[in-house]
Every structure is written in C-alpha cells, then in structure tokens.
Homo-oligomer: A and B are copies of this chain.
Amino acid sequence: MNFEYHNPTHLIFGAGTLSQLGEVARRYGKKALLVTGGGSVKRSGVFDRAVASLKDAGVSVAECSGAEPNPRITTVRRGAKIARDEGCDVIIALGGGSTMDASKVIAAAVLYDGDPWDMIFHGQEKVYIPTTALPIITVPTLAATGSEMNCGAVISNEETTEKSFMQTECLYPQVALLDPELTVSVPKNQTAYGVCDLITHVTEGYFNGIDNTPIQDRFAEGVILTAMEYGPKAIADGSDLNARAQVQWAATVALNGWVQAGGGGVGFPVHMIEHTVSAYHDITHAAGLSIINPSWMRFAAKANTAKFVQFAERIFCLSAKRPDDLECALTGIDHFEEFLKSIDCPTRFSELGIDGTLIETYAKETLRIIHDENGKLPGRPAMTRADIIEVLRSAL
C-alpha cells in the first residue's frame, strides 16, 4: 500500500453558495471565460445568476457555450481561442461533467501552443502533459462525474472517432463550488444516470484495486450505500434538497481521491470499454456504464470472488457460505443490476438500439488506446480481446 495523495482543490459546498461565485473568481483575475453546455443553465436562470454574481464582484465575462454531452476537442479549441482572444484570467465551468471536462482542458490549452488533442491520451507515440493551466473554478449543475474536484477530463474527437482522457496535477480546479440547489431541476433520467455514474466510479476502484484496503473498502461501500439510499429519493422528488445534497456529495467523494487513495487501482476497464462504445454511438456515458458494468462484474467475479462476496454481503446484506462463494457473489451482482433497473437505467445494449455488429471493433479500439505489456486491458483481471468481446456480448 504505497501511494501518494494530493488534492489542492478548495471545496465550497452548500445550498445558496452560487452567490459566492463572483467573490471567489475575483481572487483569480478580472475576466472569466464562462463555459456552458447545451443551454439548460440559461433556461433555468442559473447562468444569469452566475453572471450577476461575477459582475457584482467586478469580474467581466466571456462565454463559450455548447460543450457537448461527450465534449469535443473542437469545443476545447474554440474555448481556448476565445479565452486567448478575450484575455481571460480564469476558466469557470457552469454545467455537468462534460462542461467541466471541456473547461479543464481549455484551461491547459490556453497556455499550450500546440493542438490540445496532443494532451489527450489516445495511443499516440508522445503525449504532451501540461504542467500549467489557467485557474479553474467548477460549478457543477449535475451530480455525476466528480470532475469538479479531480484532475481528470475525458474528451472526444469526432474526426477520428476517439474518446479518451487526460489526468494531470494542473487540472485540479482551484475551487469547486457545489450548490445542490442547482441540481433540483435536473430531470429524472439525468439524475438516475448521475447516480449510476458515481457508483461506477467507486466500483471501478473497489474491484480493480489491490487486496488489504479495509478503510478504502469501507469508504467505497459508504458512498455506494448512500447513493443507493438517496439516489432514488432525488429521482422520485427532484425538489428534495437533502437528497440532492447527499447525491452531490456522494458524486464528489466518489472521484476526488478519498475513496481511491491507497487502493492501488490497476485500471478502469468498464470506463475504457464504454469510452470506445460511446465514441461510436454518442450515447450518454452513464447509460453505457450501466450496461457494461454488471456484465463486467460477472466476468471479473470469477477471478476476484472474495471481493464480490464482500460487496454482496456489505451492500446487499447477503450471507456467503465461504469467502469464495461465487453464487453469493453473482447474486450480489444480480441485486446491483436490479437496482440499476429500478432507477430506469438500461442494462442491455438492445435498449439503446445498439446491436453486436461492431463488437469486434470496440474491443480492438479499446486495446489500441490502452493496453499493458501483454497487450491486455489493465484491470483485475487484465482483459484480452476475447474477454472484452465476452463482456460486451453478454450485455447485448
């Protein structure tokens, strides 16, 4: 259990904290690039409130709207150009995970002369890893990706049909301003996807980590149990501010390193496979995760049964006969899949109208983007092309 942990992001959490945005941004400069997504923040009035807070604090605003659900490198290029042209000092993301991811890469791209796609890990010979970025402030309007308090970002390239990530210290937001009131207008299906997304972040570390991580396991289980308790409440009644707050806090801690520190995660196979599939189909990330995760779990449980038994026992109160009780492990996974169904997340590709035609391509592409020294997809266990195909086929 040798590891390092450092997360410099200053978190401000609470209902009504959006009004602090201007005062916070002023610490980082006089002009902000406000990055937004498809327009829901304008319809809800959140955009106007953010701009008012900034103007009150003497911070002027340039705008980059239209970050896509799977944010594109073209948007990053466009945002970086606006920030440069307008002389922005700070990048503010006002939106969901896609908007935040785009903003983080824009912040680094502003200070990089080359093309920002160089920074995204996509199998190229030499990845450009930036060491500086403009200050970033994240204001999530959706509880899901945890991007608000970590240093990762996922970007798509529509020209090359690629979707992959970057992750480096300078992408940590200076401030994550989390106002759960901003999430009350999120529709039921997006709320459910957020719950699925955050749980998948936790299960990836939990099942792909090293052994002997008792605290990390308890933390992970705590996030999952909380998301499973409050997620359905937030879906049932979007105006339940307490449920919204619990889900938002769960989403943040699911991927800010608290659960992962010391866990020694050797990969995030479900995410890597999903990225390839959604590069081809532009599906919602969490819908892809919801389909692939249970199928991957059934595959991985054969190799790592004890951990899946622990999951079954601690999350679903099942009782195993032995630590290697595969039947108990699989029953736990069934229960997990039932939970996903209960919040109307898809669990088969057919529900999204995706058939098996491209399965071989997804597997090949996934391994092209990332593979270990044996040519396998990192994870526990590491996966061959045949393994990936098996997991995808079981999810058709």
Contacts and interface: CB of A to CB of B under 8 A. Distances in A.
A11 B15 contact: no
B4 A10 contact: yes
B218 A249 contact: no
A14 B3 contact: yes
Nearest to A13: B3
A225 interface: yes
Interface string A199-225: 000000000000010110111011101
Interface string A239-255: 00010011001100100
A254 to B, nearest CB: 10
Interface string A1-13: 1111111111111
A13 to B, nearest CB: 5
Nearest to A241: B1
B218 A11 contact: no
B11 A261 contact: yes
Total copies of this chain within the assembly: 2
Contact of A219 (B1, B222, B229): B222
Given A219-B222, A229-B214, A4 B11 contact: yes
Interface centre among A5, A6, A225 (most CB of B within 10 A): A5
A9 B4 CA distance: 11
Contacts of A9: 6
A60 interface: no
A249 B13 contact: no
Contacts of A212: 242, 246
A3 B13 CA distance: 5
Contacts of A246: 212, 214-215
Contact of A17 (B2, B5, B223): B2
Interface in A1-35: 1-17
B2 A11 contact: no
A265 interface: no
A12 B4 contact: yes
A202 B117 CA distance: 45
A257 to B, nearest CB: 10
A225 B250 CA distance: 21
A230 interface: yes
A251 to B, nearest CB: 11
A261 B14 CA distance: 12
Contacts of A229: 214
Contact of A218 (B7, B16, B214, B222): B222
Interface of A: 1-17, 212, 214-215, 217-219, 221-223, 225-226, 229-230, 242, 245-246, 249-250, 253, 258, 261-262
Given A1-B14, A3-B13, A218-B222, 17 more contacts: A1-B249, A2-B15, A4-B11, A4-B13, A5-B10, A6-B10, A6-B11, A7-B7, A212-B246, A214-B230, A215-B222, A215-B223, A215-B249, A215-B250, A215-B253, A218-B225, A219-B219
18 contacts: A1-B245, A1-B249, A2-B15, A4-B11, A4-B12, A5-B10, A6-B10, A8-B8, A214-B246, A215-B222, A215-B250, A218-B218, A218-B222, A218-B223, A218-B226, A221-B222, A222-B222, A258-B258
